[in-house]
């Protein structure tokens, strides 16, 4: 018995060390607009950062995983990430540093007719309900699939100006060049939650990828899916258009982590369009 006591103490120490090491994050130094992958042992049911709490779900390696969005407007600096148990009590915490993404500004020239377009109450309600829902089944896997082959005409996170005037908003997604009627593909597996025309967003498809990840595709000319359909990565969900507030045919799409827009370039590699000379036509963008 005298020999067993130190052995029990040693095993307990190893177990405690193992649990501590299973708390981790990716990337180690996130920037504004990124997703922080939060890993934890099963005893942690959620995580909290800067006032936002997310659920954790079982992961393939035996730990739990949650997707913590780092908001575009989050001030760069040092924050405390907390892992919480089932009652909401902290079980572990770490200090993280959020770096400045150095988002730029972008001006978009709009006609008077486009400036008058606004989201209707039904549109706002439908999108809000979609983003609020967090389903437990995970459909997504990495790497993601490019929704269209076109280059980026408007990057994520840029501060938006309309006709030279500040809007007080930023670009929450990516705009990609695309010919009218060309197919739009699902970036990952998921369930179709919305497939309908809206006043501001135009033809819209919204995919629930599960466990807090979602994507939305705007300005579509036609739909290839309906609400309730299950799609796989690369499936055609609609076709490029210029419906809603749009200056011409292109695809705007947004990736969301637990309701907040995040930079898709963390998940998929896409190239910006070459810089155009003044003689060429302006790129198509979503206001």
Per-residue pLDDT of 115-158, as tens digits, reads: 888 999 999 999 999 999 999 999 999 999 999 999 999 999 99
Which H or E element spans position 184?
Answer: strand 183-185
Which H or E element spans position 175?
Answer: strand 174-177
CATH class in words for 105-266: mainly beta
Where in the chain do CATH 2.70.70.10 domains reside?
A: 105-266
Where in the chain do CATH 2.60.40.1590 domains reside?
A: 22-98
Q: How confident is the model at residue 107 (pLDDT cuts 50, 70, 90)?
A: confident
CA distance 137 to 49: 23
Q: Which residues pair with 58 in a beta bridge?
A: 64
CA distance 264 to 146: 10
Selected from 2.60.40.1590, 3.40.33.10, 3.90.1150.10, 3.40.50.300, the CATH number assigned to the domain covering 22-98 reads 2.60.40.1590
pLDDT at 258 over 60: yes
Residue 197 is predicted with a pLDDT of 98
CA distance 239 to 80: 43
Q: What is the pTM of this model?
A: 0.89
Residue 160 is predicted with a pLDDT of 86
CA distance 51 to 32: 16
What's the length of the chain? 287
């Amino acid at each position: 018995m005298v020999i067993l006591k130190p052995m029990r103490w040693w095993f307990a120490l190893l177990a405690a060390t193992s649990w501590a090491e299973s708390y981790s994050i990716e990337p180690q130094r996130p920037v504004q607009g990124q997703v922080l992958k939060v890993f934890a042992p099963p005893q942690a049911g959620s995580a909290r950062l800067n006032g936002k709490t997310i659920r954790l779900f079982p992961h393939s390696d035996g730990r739990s995983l949650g997707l913590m969005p780092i908001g575009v407007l989050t001030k760069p600096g040092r924050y405390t990430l907390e892992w919480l148990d089932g009652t909401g009590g902290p079980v572990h915490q770490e200090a993280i540093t959020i770096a400045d993404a150095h988002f730029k500004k972008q001006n978009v020239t709009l006609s008077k007719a486009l400036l008058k377009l606004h989201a209707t109450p039904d549109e706002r309600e439908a999108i809000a309900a979609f983003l609020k829902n967090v389903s437990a089944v995970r459909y997504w896997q990495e790497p993601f699939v490019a929704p269209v082959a076109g280059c980026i005409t408007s990057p994520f996170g840029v501060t938006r100006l309309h006709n030279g005037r500040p809007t007080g908003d930023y670009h929450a997604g990516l705009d990609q060049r695309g010919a009218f009627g060309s197919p739009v593909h699902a970036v990952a597996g998921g369930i179709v939650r919305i497939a309908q025309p809206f006043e501001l967003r135009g033809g819209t498809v919204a995919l629930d990828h599960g466990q807090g990840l979602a994507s939305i595709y705007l300005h579509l000319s036609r739909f290839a899916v309906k609400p309730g359909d299950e799609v796989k990565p690369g499936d055609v969900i609609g076709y490029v258009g210029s419906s809603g507030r749009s200056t011409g045919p292109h695809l705007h799409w947004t990736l969301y982590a637990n309701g907040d827009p995040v930079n898709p370039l963390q998940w998929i590699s896409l190239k910006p369009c070459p810089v155009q000379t003044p003689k060429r036509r302006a790129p198509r963008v979503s206001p």
